[in-house]
Structure 1
Amino acid sequence: MRPFTIGELRSVVVVGAHPDDIEIGAGGLLLALPAGVQVRYLVLTGSPVRHEEARAAAATFLGHADVTFRAESLPDGRLPEHAGTVKDVLESVAGPVPDLVLTPSATDLHQDHRLLGTMAPTVWRDSVHLQYEIPKWDGDLTRRSVYVPMSDEVARRKVALLNEVYPSQHGRDWWDDEMFLGLARLRGMECRARYAEAFTCDKLVLGL
């Protein structure tokens, strides 16, 4: 596991249980990735319509990257019942050791998210693993250990793109600009930035 900065990343794996997980949790980080970075993008559940939204999201947030997109149709809310299949899918996209792996948090109260956060370190043992947060009704936001600051411009661009590529979610009571920007502002305050995304990292090697 080698130390890195975002600008030095050459290969990244991003994993979501559901379409929109990745961009809600790490859309700002995706926008900051360097041009030409290789990204393996994986979503485990979703209908054909939702998969098309995820494909559009990958193209929009990662238009500057070399993206390999994959979407599975495992049952939403029941990934733990299909843990063996989930592990097989993760291992099938593991490929060469990536610099960075992004997944939901292992402490997330949604069972699908939690499974991916727990399982990823057993697949990518030599990569930096950042676990992103997804705000929800369950109220499981916790203290985070890694922050990626966002300027006002980047934070608002992230929210605008979320609205653009995920129209199916507009009717949800939690989906609005105020919620996304409010969380980003809170995390920004915690790292002395205007806005930020926050992650958990269980293991990181620091260069000397």
Structure 2
Amino acid sequence: MTTLSPLLPQKLLILAPHTDDGEIGAGGFISSLPEETEKLYIAFSSCEESLPEGLPADTLEKECLEATKVLDIPANSVSFLHYPVRHFSDHRQSILENLISIRKSYNPDVVLTPASTDIHQDHSTVTQEAKRAFKDRTILGYELPWNCFEMKPNFFMPLDTDLIKKKLLAIQAYKSQRFRGYGDGILLKRFAELRGGQIGESYAEAFEVIRFVWR
């Protein structure tokens, strides 16, 4: 494998409490990385309880595989853990053990997880346990705007037109979620314009550097 710059991940771990969280918060960043970067995407819940009535229980898993394919993540690098949505805090120890197992087997150097100020109970649980499991790795907190009462972004990723297009295509792969305010991608494109404007770019994603380890 080609040796990457020490500032680029060799192995990226994307922690998505629910299918689509990783794409919403970091789809551009994920897609920007060179093909030499290994990527592993873990969805802790497929949110079967949140599907519109009448859809098959595996709808979001299938849509997630389509979305992550857009971001150049192979299907065999996407896993679903099936925790009950909105009840992650009841399974905190099991989630921590999952993360420790992933650390040992996959050994990522950069971990993406929701920002530490994200108020959603499932997102908060995943990030708290990620901080315990990966305290010796770089951890970047991605932004889900409607869940962050306070966000102090200190790392910005500029997105060119190709990257913002791939991010939006990934989000639009979740056809079952089109009824949500962000489902068509328009809101997220506007938010990317806002973050881009903060750094003099057309589009950007913003992250919280929870921990930075440069080896």
**What TM-score, normalized by structure 2, do the two folds share?**
0.84
Equivalent residues of 2:65, 2:75 under 8 A apart: no
Q: What CA RMSD, in Å, does the superposition of the two structures yield over aligned residues?
A: 2.1
Matches for 1:85-96 after TM superposition, within 5 Å:
85-94=94-103, 95-96=105-106
* 1:116 aligns with one of 97, 108, 126: 126
Percent identical residues: 26
Matches for 1:46-57 after TM superposition, within 5 Å:
46=46, 47=48, 48-57=58-67
Q: Which amino acid aligns with 1:183?
A: F
Following superposition, which runs of at least 4 residues in structure 1 exceed 6 angstroms of deviation? none
Q: 2:128 and 2:152 mapped to 1: Cα distance? A: 18
Q: Which residue does 1:179 correspond to in 2?
A: 187
Unaligned runs of 5+ in 2: 49-57
Q: Which residue does 2:70 correspond to in 1?
A: 60
Q: Which residue does 2:55 correspond to in 1?
A: none
Q: 1:187 and 1:4 mapped to 2: Cα distance? A: 25
Q: Which amino acid aligns with 1:68?
A: S
Provide Cα deviations, 1:21-64, integer angstroms capped at 9, x if missing partner: 0000000011111113222210001132211222222222125x
Q: Which amino acid aligns with 1:69?
A: V
Pairwise CA distance, 1:200: 0.4
Pairwise CA distance, 1:66: 8.9
Determine whether 1:37 maps to 2:37.
yes
Determine whether 1:132 maps to 2:142.
yes
Pairwise CA distance, 1:205: 4.5
Q: Which residue does 2:22 correspond to in 1?
A: 22
Unaligned runs of 5+ in 1: none
Pairwise CA distance, 1:5: 2.8
Determine whether 1:170 maps to 2:172.
no
Count of equivalent residues: 200
The verdict on how the C-alpha distance between 1:149 and 1:177 changes in structure 2, with shifts beyond 3 A counting, is same
Determine whether 1:200 maps to 2:208.
yes
Determine whether 1:71 maps to 2:80.
yes
Pairwise CA distance, 1:115: 1.2
**What TM-score, normalized by structure 1, do the two folds share?**
0.87
Q: Which amino acid aligns with 2:38?
A: Q
Q: Secondary structure at the match of 1:18?
A: coil
Equivalent residues of 1:31, 1:61 under 8 A apart: yes
Q: Secondary structure at the match of 2:82?
A: strand
Determine whether 1:4 maps to 2:6.
yes
Pairwise CA distance, 1:139: 5.7
Q: Which residue does 1:154 correspond to in 2?
A: 163
